[in-house]
């Protein structure tokens, strides 16, 4: 099938026609769509391991042996390979709808099917049959389906525009969607309203059969929400950077993987930003994966799943307030200090503030204070680092003459998804080694110390390492020079092909004018249909509309004159 013709079909065209990034694109394509798409994965990050351990019993050494520790860790290999394959496909794809977005569209049915299979493990079959099902469904989701979505999604900020300010805003909205999915969905709503539904207690012990059935009800909801959320992001995003070469008729060579690999690994900025994401994601995932266990067993007065869910939801709400406020503050802070400096100083504050929790790891109030202080410092890191990654990709393009989005975002995706398996594998190994027993009234000291390390300590260690690492990321000083070099490369390619060079500003102006012309024609057609249906005069209604526009313009001009006179 000719993919170019398929993606030129009106049914799969982007709904974003503006040459510049507008609020609709930010809100729908970079926040609402991804937020709803991330809800399921955020819930899995906090609860899938507990579902496996407390409902299916995979930390029971007599039934599953070391399977619970080995499967997530071994699966990291397949996750990495899956993301590399998707990155390679993205690099070699060019369609009217971009090179990453087509895989986002493909991911909608794949992710939906994979979510369903995660929770259809045969309940009464043999341990061997269950292990085979879990291994296949786990890898289908994390190594195949989710990378199709996540690698494409992660590429969008760098492919959306070259405007640094617009990229910064899109990075904030994109990161905010993931933060909100974890903070609101997995850390507040599910613990407060669904935890006792998902982990049904009977005589003080988890009722596996009832819990399994309830998980399948939630699974159906997650499948529906995720499917339509991915479509929402697909239709309300646009790859302007990919479109540049298509519109300029620049023929891009299909780059060998080794050429991209060499270009990336030979650059120190690439290594720094990749190591940043590895450390940040690992610390966060270990914390999130252990949060449910911590709230169930570490605070006094917690006697069951309902009270544990309330504690987890309250902790998530209080701890999430700084990051919610941070969505508004992140870009002004980064604009004033610079992205790299804002991230470095912020995480240094997080390390100091997070240590407060260790004053008394069993005191809910003290732990909350430490979590809040840590969250305040992490604001820049949560929201602006995708913009920093885009700067690194531009720097590589300026230096090498080609973009490395596919390979880089496949590595990024492997880190963001693969760390889930690594984190869960470590937690499962530690739970098994320290003698965790979900049926006990309380856990032993070894389990408690392990949970304190996982929920409170590992993230702080990772943050401290990032503070040192980020001191060497100086890519922002190259931004203006890099963009000028990229323009020169584009101009040379156009002229070599016998084309006529047009500056980006002129292209954007013409494209915006065309978009506005088409929008105006569509408005008039809609008004004609409306007038015909209601028996109104099109000329009269159009005159009213034009008068309204003129009055609005006159009011704006008068306000501008008044403000100028008052200065």
Tally Cβ neighbours within 10 Å of residue 223.
18
pLDDT, tens digit, for every residue of 448-505?
Answer: 999 999 999 999 999 999 999 999 999 999 988 998 898 888 788 777 777 777 777 7
Altogether, the residues listed in the chain come to a count of 567
Q: Which residue stretches of 161-267 are H helix?
A: 164-180, 190-193, 195-198, 208-235, 240-247, 257-265
pLDDT, tens digit, for every residue of 207-230?
Answer: 888 999 999 999 999 999 999 999
Helix then strand then coil, % of the chain, to nearest 5: 80, 0, 20
What mean pLDDT, rounded, does the chain reach? 86
pLDDT, tens digit, for every residue of 315-368?
Answer: 888 877 887 788 788 888 888 999 999 999 999 999 999 999 999 999 999 999
pLDDT at 1: 44
φ/ψ region of 251 (left if φ > 0, alpha if ψ in -120 to 50, else beta) reads beta
pTM for this model (two decimals): 0.71
pLDDT at 115: 96
pLDDT at 96: 87
- Angle in degrees, CA 157, 161, 163, rounded to 5: 110
Which range has highest mean pLDDT (24-33, 126-135, 381-390)? 24-33
pLDDT at 452: 94
Q: How far is residue 208 from each of residues 62, 202, 307, 488, measured CA to CA in Å? A: 17, 10, 19, 64
* Weakest mean pLDDT among 5-9, 279-283, 563-567: 563-567
The radius of gyration computed from the CA coordinates of the chain, to the nearest angstrom, equals 26
Which range has highest mean pLDDT (78-87, 96-105, 342-351)? 342-351
For residue 199, give the DSSP letter. S
- Higher per-residue confidence, 249 vs 46: 46
pLDDT, tens digit, for every residue of 160-174?
Answer: 887 777 877 888 888
pLDDT above 80 (res 22)? yes
pLDDT at 57: 80
> Which of 560, 90, 165, 136 lies closest to 384 in space, CA to CA?
165
Q: Confirm if 133 and 64 have CB atoms less than 8 A apart.
A: no
Structure tokens at 356: 């407060």
CB proximity list for 536: less than 8 A, separation 6 or greater: 530
Q: Token pair 């309902």 is at which residue?
A: 306
E strand or H helix at 513: helix 504-534
pLDDT at 339: 92
pLDDT at 444: 92
E strand or H helix at 201: strand 201-202
CB proximity list for 290: less than 8 A, separation 6 or greater: 427, 451, 454, 455
pLDDT, tens digit, for every residue of 424-451?
Answer: 788 888 888 898 887 788 889 999 999 9
pLDDT, tens digit, for every residue of 248-294?
Answer: 666 656 677 788 888 899 999 999 999 999 999 899 888 888 888 89
pLDDT at 70: 84
Structure tokens at 85: 């394959």
pLDDT, tens digit, for every residue of 101-148?
Answer: 999 999 999 999 999 999 998 877 888 888 899 999 999 999 999 999
DSSP secondary structure of 522-549: HHHHHHHHHHHHHT--HHHHHHHHHHHH
Q: Could you tell me how far CA 498 lies from the centroid of its own chain?
A: 41
pLDDT above 70 (res 178)? yes
pLDDT above 50 (res 239)? yes
């Amino acid at each position: 099938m000719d993919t170019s013709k398929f993606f030129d079909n009106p049914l799969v065209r982007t709904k974003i026609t503006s040459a510049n990034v507008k609020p609709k694109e930010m809100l729908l394509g970079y926040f609402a769509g991804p937020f709803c798409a991330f809800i399921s994965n955020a819930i899995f990050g906090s609860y899938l391991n507990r579902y496996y351990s407390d409902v299916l019993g995979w930390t029971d050494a007599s039934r599953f042996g070391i399977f619970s520790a080995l499967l997530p860790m071994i699966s990291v290999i397949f996750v990495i390979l899956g993301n590399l394959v998707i990155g390679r496909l993205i690099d070699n794809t060019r369609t009217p709808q971009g090179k990453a977005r087509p895989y986002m569209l493909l991911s909608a049915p794949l992710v939906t099917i994979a979510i369903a299979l995660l929770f259809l493990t045969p309940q009464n079959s043999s341990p061997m049959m269950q292990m085979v099902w879990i291994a296949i469904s786990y890898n289908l989701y994390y190594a195949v389906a989710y990378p199709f979505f996540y690698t494409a999604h992660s590429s969008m900020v760098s492919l959306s525009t070259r405007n640094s300010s617009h990229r910064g805003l899109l990075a904030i909205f994109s990161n905010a969607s993931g933060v909100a999915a974890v903070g609101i969905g997995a850390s507040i709503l599910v613990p407060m309203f669904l935890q006792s539904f998902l982990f049904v207690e009977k005589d003080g012990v988890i009722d596996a059969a009832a819990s399994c059935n309830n998980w399948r009800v939630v699974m159906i909801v997650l499948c529906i929400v995720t499917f339509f959320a991915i479509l929402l992001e697909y239709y309300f995003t646009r790859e302007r950077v990919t479109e540049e070469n298509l519109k300029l008729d620049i023929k891009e060579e299909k780059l060998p993987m080794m050429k991209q690999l060499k270009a990336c690994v030979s650059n120190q900025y690439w290594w720094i930003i990749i190591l940043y994401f590895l450390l940040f994601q690992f610390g966060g995932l270990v914390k999130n994966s252990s949060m449910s266990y911590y709230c169930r067993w570490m605070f006094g007065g917690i006697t069951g799943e309902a009270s544990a869910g309330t504690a987890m939801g309250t902790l998530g709400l209080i701890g999430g307030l700084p990051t919610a406020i941070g969505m508004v503050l992140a870009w002004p802070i980064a604009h004033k200090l610079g992205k790299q400096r804002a991230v470095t100083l912020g995480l240094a504050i997080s390390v100091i503030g997070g240590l407060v929790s260790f004053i008394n790891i069993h005191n809910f109030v003290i732990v909350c204070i430490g979590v809040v202080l840590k969250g305040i410092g992490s604001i820049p890191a949560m929201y602006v680092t995708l913009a920093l990654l885009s700067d690194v990709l531009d720097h590589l393009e300026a230096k090498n003459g080609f973009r490395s989005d596919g390979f880089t975002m496949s590595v990024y995706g492997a880190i963001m998804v693969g760390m889930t398996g690594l984190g869960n594998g470590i937690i499962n190994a530690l739970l098994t080694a320290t003698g965790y027993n979900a049926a006990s009234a309380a856990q032993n000291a070894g389990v408690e110390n392990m949970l304190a390390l996982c929920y409170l300590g590992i993230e702080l260690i990772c943050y401290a390492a990032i503070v040192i690492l980020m001191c060497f990321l100086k890519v922002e000083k190259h931004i203006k020079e890099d963009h000028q070099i990229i323009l020169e490369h584009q101009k040379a390619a156009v002229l070599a092909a016998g084309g006529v060079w047009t500056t980006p500003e002129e292209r954007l102006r013409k494209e915006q004018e065309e978009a506005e012309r088409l929008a105006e024609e569509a408005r008039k057609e809609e008004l004609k249909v409306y007038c015909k249906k209601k028996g109104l005069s099109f000329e009269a209604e159009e005159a009213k509309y034009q008068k309204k526009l003129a009055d609005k313009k006159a009011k704006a001009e008068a306000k501008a004159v008044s403000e100028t006179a008052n200065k």
